[in-house]
Every structure is written in structure tokens, then in C-alpha cells.
């Protein structure tokens, strides 16, 4: 049993490394026009082959973990986010075979890797299923939602490339600044991963005792406490004293710890971003732009729309219909206005609006690209903020 879990985590790590190498090969395809075309084609073939091998490793992770735990590994934040990364790669592979578009991989794979890395920041132990999750609908509902989201993510990737290519970087205006904010947000996520990994390697721990709903609880910080829990006392000795307390309106279990992680993400992410800006001496988006000049914007728009057209029905099926059927079986109410449900509905409303806007002239191209970026933001909001902050029936971690 232990060896299965061991194999499983090795395979996940292998997948991560292969995706990294595949990204490099996708990078080699970028100079299509300048160097020999044949080399670029070869690099593309190697890259997609590696992606498929990486995906198989990822799949082995999934299967072995399933065998070890006895249930599909989609039951906590680590497992679900890892699976989302896997679905993103799957969706990319499918889209690649439709359009043979290499550049998409250069952006899609790093995002999938960010998902895996982000997932690893959550507890990775194999946890037992609580009674409410013990149902076949767990597999059906969660996997369909993840596949649907994975396909919708591709529309974000295509939209992002579109914006990086087309937004005028010579001017400082709403569009170029908004795009740079998107780039900065990606740096914050990287900042969170870097900080967690660094202090995780040092095995850093600091415990606090605090009162939540009249109960005394302890919380374990794995990052040095800048913000202590509201009314918390530090238990661990020989660690940094907190600089200030979280505000009182941040309630709920571990609110202080989560707030502290957010602060760390901002600090490390901003430093990383600052370093990159210093090296580049221009906006990050402006630095990327010249690499994308030979890409056809029409193709990006087509991929953007196509992924929504394919992803939307899958998401509806998994996130609303299967979800409702399961909720009916488990709680006797197929719809309960739980925050997670509401945000699934909001996501659905959003992509429905997107599809209707595509009917009118003027909403293709750049506007669609912005919409795809916002849609991605809404799905991530539902994944991260709703799970970790607006805890409801779905709170995993």
C-alpha cells in the first residue's frame, strides 16, 4: 500500500518534470520564420510527444492513488487541483490535434505546472472519505466539472496569447495596464509557491492559540507569522514574533494563517516581479509581445471560441446537472444556494453571456479574449476563494 502511494507521488513529480521539458521544446518552435522550418516542426513533434508521455505519467499518478486509497483522488484540495491540471493538459492535447498549434503549449503547460505546484501546497496525505462524499456521483460530478473547466482554461490560454500579441504596448492605457495586472497576478501565485516551498524545505512551524466561536483552537503556520490570528498567542518559541494581528472581521478557522499566506504571496511575488521588471526594463507583457508576432490572431480567436463552445456544455453537465442530481441523492435538495453552487451558476451565467455576445458584431477578437481571461478568473475564484474563504458544504481544506 505504501509503495503504491510512493509510486503515485513519484509519477506526479515525473509528470511535472516532463511538462517542464516539453515546455522548453514548445519554446524552440517559436522562431518559426527565422530558423529552419524543419527544425521547428521537429521540435513541435518532440514537444507534443513529451506532453503525451507526461500526461500518461500524470494518469498513472491518478490510477495508483485511486488504487491505494480506494476512492477516486478528487476528494480534497490537493487531489482536485492536481486533477484540474491534468484536465488542462488533456484539453490542450485535444486542441493541439485539431489545430496543430504549438505556441498554445508554451503557455498551457506552464499553467498546468502552476496548478500542480499550487496543489502540492495543501496536505497531500491520503484522507478517508466522510459519509457525505461516499457516492459514485463524486467521481462523475467532480471529473466532469474538471474536464469542462480544463477545456474552458484553454480559452483563457488562447485569450491571453491574443492579448499579449495584440494589446498595444507602446501606450500606457487601460488595456496595457490591465494585461500587466494579469501578469502580476501570475507572479503572485508563483510567489506563494516559492515562499511555501522554501519554508517547507526548512520545515518551518509556528503554532498559535486563538479563540474562534467561543472555542480555543490552535493553528500551525508553515510560513513565518507576519500577521497573527486575531487575539492569538504564539506558542512556539524561537520563531519570529508576529508584526500585527489579523483584523477582527477575518473569522473562521485558520483565517489568520490564510491571511498570512496571502501577505507572503504578495511580498515574494512582488519581489520576483520587481526583479524581472528590472532585468527587462519594460512591461512583462511588452517583453513577450515580439515573440508572438507571427501568430495569426484569427486562429487564437477561433481556439478561444471553440474551447468555450466545447467546454460550456461539459461544464453545464458536470457543474450544474450532475451536481444537482448528487445533491438530490445526498441531501434531498438539488439546489441549495450554497456559495459553491452559486458560483457555479455565476460561471455558467458568464459563459452564457459570452456565447450570446459572440452573436453581435464587435465582440470577437480582443473583447472575447478579455472575456476568456475574466472567465478563468471566475473559475479560479470558485476554486480558491470559495473553498478557502466562503466555506460552505464544499470546503475541502
**What is the binding site for other proteins (CB under 8 A)?**
1-2, 68-70, 123, 125-132, 134-135, 137, 213-215, 248-249, 251, 302, 305-306, 309-310, 312-313, 316-317, 321, 324, 328-334, 336-339, 342-343, 345-346, 349-350, 352-353, 356-357, 359-361, 386, 390, 392
143 or 217: whose CB is closer to other proteins?
217
CB of 99 to other proteins, least distance (A): 8
CB of 163 to other proteins, least distance (A): 18
The 215-221 sheet, strands edge to edge: 215-221, 206-212, 233-234
CB of 136 to other proteins, least distance (A): 9
CB of 251 to other proteins, least distance (A): 7
CB of 138 to other proteins, least distance (A): 9
264 or 305: whose CB is closer to other proteins?
305
d(CA 76, CA 99): 34
Give CA 193 to chain center in angstroms.
12
52 or 309: whose CB is closer to other proteins?
309
CB of 317 to other proteins, least distance (A): 6
CB of 249 to other proteins, least distance (A): 6
Can you give the three-state secondary structure of 232-293, one letter per residue? CEECCCCCCCCCEECCCCCCCCCHHHHHHHHHHHHHHHHHHHHHHHHHHCCCHHHHHHHHHC
234 or 357: whose CB is closer to other proteins?
357
110 or 336: whose CB is closer to other proteins?
336
150 or 269: whose CB is closer to other proteins?
150
159 or 191: whose CB is closer to other proteins?
159
Amino acid at each position: 500500500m505504501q509503495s503504491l502511494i510512493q509510486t503515485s507521488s513519484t509519477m506526479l513529480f515525473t509528470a511535472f518534470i516532463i511538462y517542464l521539458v516539453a515546455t522548453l521544446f514548445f519554446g524552440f518552435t517559436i522562431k518559426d520564420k527565422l530558423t529552419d522550418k524543419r527544425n521547428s516542426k521537429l521540435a513541435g513533434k518532440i514537444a507534443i510527444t513529451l506532453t503525451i508521455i507526461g500526461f500518461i505519467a500524470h494518469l498513472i499518478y491518478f490510477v495508483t492513488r485511486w488504487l491505494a486509497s480506494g476512492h477516486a483522488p478528487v476528494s480534497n484540495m490537493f487531489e482536485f487541483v492536481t486533477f484540474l491540471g491534468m484536465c488542462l493538459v488533456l484539453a490542450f492535447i485535444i486542441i493541439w490535434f485539431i489545430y496543430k498549434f504549438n505556441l498554445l503549449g508554451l503557455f498551457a503547460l506552464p499553467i498546468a505546472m502552476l496548478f500542480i505546484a499550487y496543489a502540492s501546497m495543501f496536505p497531500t496525505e491520503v484522507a478517508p472519505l466522510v459519509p457525505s462524499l461516499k457516492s459514485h456521483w463524486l467521481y462523475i460530478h467532480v471529473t466532469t466539472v474538471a474536464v469542462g473547466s480544463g477545456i474552458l482554461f484553454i480559452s483563457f490560454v488562447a485569450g491571453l496569447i491574443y492579448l499579449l500579441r495584440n494589446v498595444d504596448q507602446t501606450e500606457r492605457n487601460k488595456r496595457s495596464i490591465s494585461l500587466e495586472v494579469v501578469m502580476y497576478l501570475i507572479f503572485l501565485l508563483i510567489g506563494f509557491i516559492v515562499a511555501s516551498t522554501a519554508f517547507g524545505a526548512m520545515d518551518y512551524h509556528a503554532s498559535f492559540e486563538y479563540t474562534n466561536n467561543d472555542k480555543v483552537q490552535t493553528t500551525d503556520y508553515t510560513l513565518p507569522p507576519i500577521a497573527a490570528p486575531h487575539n492569538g498567542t504564539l506558542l512556539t518559541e524561537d520563531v519570529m514574533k508576529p508584526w500585527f494581528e489579523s483584523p477582527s472581521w477575518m473569522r473562521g478557522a485558520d483565517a489568520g494563517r490564510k491571511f498570512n499566506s496571502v501577505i507572503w504571496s504578495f511580498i515574494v511575488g512582488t519581489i520576483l516581479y520587481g526583479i524581472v521588471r528590472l532585468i527587462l526594463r519594460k512591461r512583462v507583457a511588452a517583453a513577450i509581445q515580439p515573440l508572438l508576432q507571427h501568430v495569426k490572431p484569427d486562429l487564437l480567436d477561433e481556439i478561444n471560441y471553440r474551447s468555450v463552445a466545447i467546454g460550456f456544455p461539459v461544464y453545464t453537465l458536470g457543474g450544474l446537472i450532475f451536481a444537482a442530481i448528487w445533491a438530490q441523492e445526498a441531501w434531498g435538495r438539488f439546489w441549495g444556494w450554497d456559495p459553491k453552487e452559486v458560483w457555479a451558476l455565476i460561471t455558467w451565467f458568464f459563459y452564457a453571456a459570452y456565447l450570446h455576445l459572440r452573436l453581435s458584431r464587435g465582440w470577437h477578437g480582443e473583447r472575447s479574449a478579455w472575456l476568456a481571461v475574466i472567465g478563468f478568473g471566475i473559475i479560479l475564484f470558485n476554486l480558491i476563494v470559495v473553498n478557502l474563504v466562503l466555506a460552505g458544504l464544499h470546503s475541502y481544506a
